Structure 1
């Protein structure tokens, strides 16, 4: 109620000010004729002085006085006409001023009633972070999101291609233990716009690959889920992205979709930071870079950040967080599932030891919490989360990042 009273008072005050200007019809400055009169009278005095000094003769003085007097009479007539001219209709002015006051006041309140959020209280940073965490935990599942997506038009393809895909489905069904067949099926189902069938085939491929998967595979699985849900990053897609980032923290497509997810759950500040760092990492021609460039200004606006153009691949980003090198990733592809898991645990352990002995940034603590949750070490992840909150207790921005990651991992209460 207080909000409505204050808003109505401000709108009425503005309308009243405009109405007073209309009614009083005030005019700034003086008429030009009044200035002319002062000049002409000064000229008459100058004529008398010039005559006394002998600069002009009496005949010339009389002729000049006559001309100046004629001009004085003309200026005085203009001034009198201005004062006695028709006045602004007072009644009409009052009616118009009242109508304008009602229009401004009523229009302001009406527009807010339609476009605003009456009764919605102010939210501090802590409340917004808490709501973002709740939104991350309680948002719709993949199945629920797919149920709400309207049917999309299928891409136009040749009939022969459709028949080939049908044959591939039959073959993949007969060879249910062939990972390559599932990978091909996922690709071609996506080409036909059958994204649900595509991500189901991709899931089968990952299951059958016996650990011979990388960050790209999990990101592609997440992407297919997102496309099936109409652009929505579901909890299932988020889990796939978290696995991809645990394997390769600098994987560009995963970082793009991670930022998209952060924006959807109400954390555009973290999304903007993720996208800005991804832009700086490049490369400029990458498709995910173009996707970020098309949306980062809107994300910056939502985050309340003044966005400045970022050159892709400019190298001005903060130092990348420690992660596996390209050689390590190539070598990991040749390891068994157990060996890959052991490799990841080794990297997580080294990161944990370094943070315990040397400290580190909030991003590194958040990475450790997320990696531990992916590995299923929930108790240790919760311990690290509690320790991180103590370390960064005086840094609200760092706490916001850590709380969000913990909420996404199901650790925050």
Structure 2
């Protein structure tokens, strides 16, 4: 209601000022016709001076006097009939005033009806932030959210691997303090798509490691929980991300999921800041950039930011527009499958055609963020053989390996 009161008062004030100017004219100031009379009289005097100096002929002087005299008579008639307003027609001013009132009031209301939100209550910034905090504090836990989803059917490997996986499960169940067994079980269940069993095993890994757990250990745990809830970042997953960012504040995967959590809790402004940084940081083939590119323009609109996806020359080459459109319509599982396919394609190209140290570093980092330590270690070993003796390239590769948790 306060908005409407302020809007109407401002509109009426503007209309009042315009009406006063139209109806009263320039009262208290010299009328325009009086100024014109002075000018024309000065022109007559100037004609006489020019004639006396011989600048113009007598016939020309007479013709100019006649034209100026005609203008003097017209200006004097306007001055006599117009008074202080200078002869401005009051009927025309009234009509113009009515038209302006229609445009200002009617046009404003019409635009608000089309572009605004009639009947929607005031929602100031502080109220939105408070509502976001309440949403964040009261959101469903991991278990509560999983309970809303259909129970997943346990997946088992085919053929000769079945016995090995079943044996691993039995072994870990009998030896809950076996760190390597729980690690292997978490990876195995994750590869099979048994996310709930995988994060349960990874939780035991974190328990056994305690303060020795790396950022990647916490991120892997968070990813498994997020995958189990089909993209929802629960309070438990948020806690894992918090632990990871205490150890590696700039870790891109943790920051990506942190932005996702902010979106889900109605803070697109903060999420956009994080995702925009990740977009420009690259690298181009980083798997987390696929969903970012697919959603960041919409996120910017929600955040009230004028943003357009940078041209290809401004950012490293990445997925095609068709890839981005497809990624925006995929579920979390489908996006993960697409990411794995892109990483596999990169690995195949590097093995077949070779590539730069930066590209090998991307491959190592991609495997690390996917939680595939074995493939990351294999790529790290192959890259070291390719760039043996190149100190600068090895430094780039070592940094990627360190981020993937392969070296200290």
TM-score when normalising by structure 2: 0.46
Higher RCO (C-alpha under 8 Å, 6+ residues apart): 1
TM-score, length of structure 1 as denominator length: 0.46
